């Protein structure tokens, strides 16, 4: 599979990463290398092998449904750029 410069730009846009032409080309080369590696891996016959959903073969630990966090709003908001009426302020949301 070959990756196009446009797909690199598209992925960057989706990830909110600003790229210029040079960076996009460099990323294209690097990503193509990764894709080549994946292509090689796909040649391995994996018939009958169950796909893993995590690199470690252990299962998720669960916590009991208990509230154990207290209100630390003041502490958290002390590092926020802008707050008002207890809210975090962000550039206007338009939709």
Instruction: Summarize as ranges the residues that interact with another protein (CB under 8 A).
Output: 14-16, 53-56, 58-69, 71-73, 76-77, 82, 84-93, 95
CB nearer another protein, residue 48 or residue 86: 86
CB nearer another protein, residue 22 or residue 68: 68
Measured from the CB of residue 57, what is the shortest distance to another protein in angstroms?
A: 9
Going 79 to 82 to 88 to 91, the CA torsion angle's sign is negative
Q: Do the Cβ atoms of 20 and 5 come closer than 8 Å?
A: no
Measured from the CB of residue 40, what is the shortest distance to another protein in angstroms?
A: 21
Q: How far apart are CA 87 and CA 91, in angstroms?
A: 13
CB nearer another protein, residue 21 or residue 95: 95
Rounded (5°) CA angle 22-27-29 = 100
């Amino acid at each position: 599979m070959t990756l196009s410069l446009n797909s690199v730009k598209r992925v960057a846009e989706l990830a909110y990463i600003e790229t210029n032409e040079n960076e996009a080309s460099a990323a294209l080369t690097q990503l193509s290398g990764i894709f080549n590696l994946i292509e090689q891996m796909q040649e391995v016959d994996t018939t009958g092998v169950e796909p893993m959903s995590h690199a470690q073969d252990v299962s998720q630990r669960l916590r009991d449904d208990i509230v154990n966090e207290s209100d630390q709003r003041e502490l958290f908001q002390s590092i926020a750029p802008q707050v008002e009426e207890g809210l975090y302020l962000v550039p206007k949301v338009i939709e």
